[in-house]
Amino acid sequence: MPRIIAQGISPDRVRVRAARRVVRDRRNRVESRVSRQAKPALPARPSPENVVEVDNVSFAYDARQVLSGISLAIPRGRVVAIMGGSGCGKTTLLRLIGGALRPTSGEVRVFGDSVGAMNQEELYALRRKLGMLFQFGALFTDMSSYDNVAFQMREHTDLPEDLIRDLVLMKLHAVGLRGAAHLHPAELSGGMARRVALARAIALDPQLMMYDEPFAGLDPISLSVIGQLIRRLNDALGATSIVVTHDVMESLKIVDYIYFISDGRIIAQGTPDEIRASNMPFVHQFVHGEIDGPVAFHYPARAYRDDMLGVQP
């Protein structure tokens, strides 16, 4: 106890905090049970309305278990957010949906077909229907914005160059950067570069768009612009979108539905209104950006004391 007192925290306050934690954990368990009962993560039967169905999927990178029985559905035309703490497996989930990884167990279905069972040719065909804005997806630095957007069209289609020109300008126009077609990535601001990457991602009119942290590192205005673009492009293209992000406030403005992942599982889900109204501690911590709460700051590690004292594992 002396150490705690030295930090200016009385034993009484420690006891009160411990009691609060017990109450909070109990409420958490009850609420997650209620949320699971009230809204099944996946319809009882697969539905043709779902563009993506993740059905009881588990995945591990060698010894590191990342996802443990995740089920979710993304209906056609919707913009759905996937949120969770850093390292909880959001990018991994996108890679499973895109077929870059195969689940350890369970099934990922995209447009009704099982991605894990696809051969190279089928995966290639699937990826032509997907648009991806990568978390660290930089533009090709030695190409202009124009050529960055044209790249996929030249690689994947036999369209003549004059038609490609019209399409590239249409895509750049859609993100407000037709006038920046000649600029190279080094001449763009961070927000502009993200918009060019967005134009590149929609180059082939994808039916499913996946955004990995589209808001990261943007100022509030660019962030809002990208958010609105995600929504507008989805609706204009008649596409379906998955947005992986930490940015709750921006997502709540533009998405139809939100899934929260923690410890490899879906622990909460709902519409923006349901999420705003939620008292569930995990959701509350996220929505209000609190440091203290169920989302751990530390990557799992052995005892700090053992590491500092050099105790052999």
Ligand X SMILES: Nc1ncnc2c1ncn2[C@@H]1O[C@H](COP(=O)(O)OP(=O)(O)OP(=O)(O)O)[C@@H](O)[C@H]1O
The site for Mg ion (CB under 5 A) is made up of 91, 135
What type of residue sits at position 28? N
Residue 200 Cβ vs Mg ion, minimum distance, rounded to whole Å: 19
Told to check if 64 binds ligand X by CB under 6 A, we report yes
CA distances from 303 to 2, 3, 6, 33, 65 (A): 21, 18, 22, 32, 20
Residue 241 pairs with which residues in a beta bridge?
A: 79, 209
* Residue 11 contacts which entry, ligand X, Mg ion, none (Cβ below 5-8 A, type-dependent): none
Our CB check for ligand X shows the closer of 100 and 167 to be: 100
Torsion of CA 159, 160, 161, 165, to 10 degrees: -60
Cβ burial of 20 (10 Å; 0-12, 13-18, 19+) is: exposed
293 conformational bin, left if phi > 0, alpha if psi -120 to 50, beta if neither: left
Task: Check residue 88 for interaction with ligand X (CB under 6 A).
Answer: yes
89 touching ligand X, by CB under 6 A: yes
**Considering CB distances under 5 to 8 angstroms, the limit depending on partner class, which of ligand X, Mg ion, none binds residue 86?**
ligand X
Number of residues counted as binding ligand X (CB under 6 A): 12
92 lies in the binding site for ligand X (CB under 6 A): yes
Q: What track of x and - describes contact with ligand X for positions 117 through 156 (by CB under 6 A)?
A: ------------------x---------------------
Taking Cα atoms as reference points, which of 10, 58, 31, 107 lies closest to residue 270? Answer: 31
Closest CA to 203 of 120, 129, 98: 129
Cβ-based nearer residue to Mg ion, 66 or 79: 66
Neighbours of 42 (CB within 10 A): 17
Residue 101 touches ligand X, criterion: CB under 6 A:
no
If one asks whether residue 81 binds ligand X (CB under 6 A), the answer comes out as no
Examine residue 86 and tell whether it contacts ligand X (CB under 6 A): yes
Q: Read off the tokens for 12.
A: 């009484």
Q: Does 61 bind ligand X (CB under 6 A)?
A: yes
Residues 96, 242: Cα–Cα separation, whole Å: 13
Residue 182, interface with ligand X (CB under 6 A)? Answer: no
User: Applying CB under 6 A, does 26 fall inside the site for ligand X?
Assistant: no
User: Which of 66, 174, 233, 255 forms a contact with ligand X (CB under 6 A)?
Assistant: 66
Judged by the rule CB under 6 A, the positions of this chain that interact with ligand X are: 61, 64, 66, 84, 86-92, 135
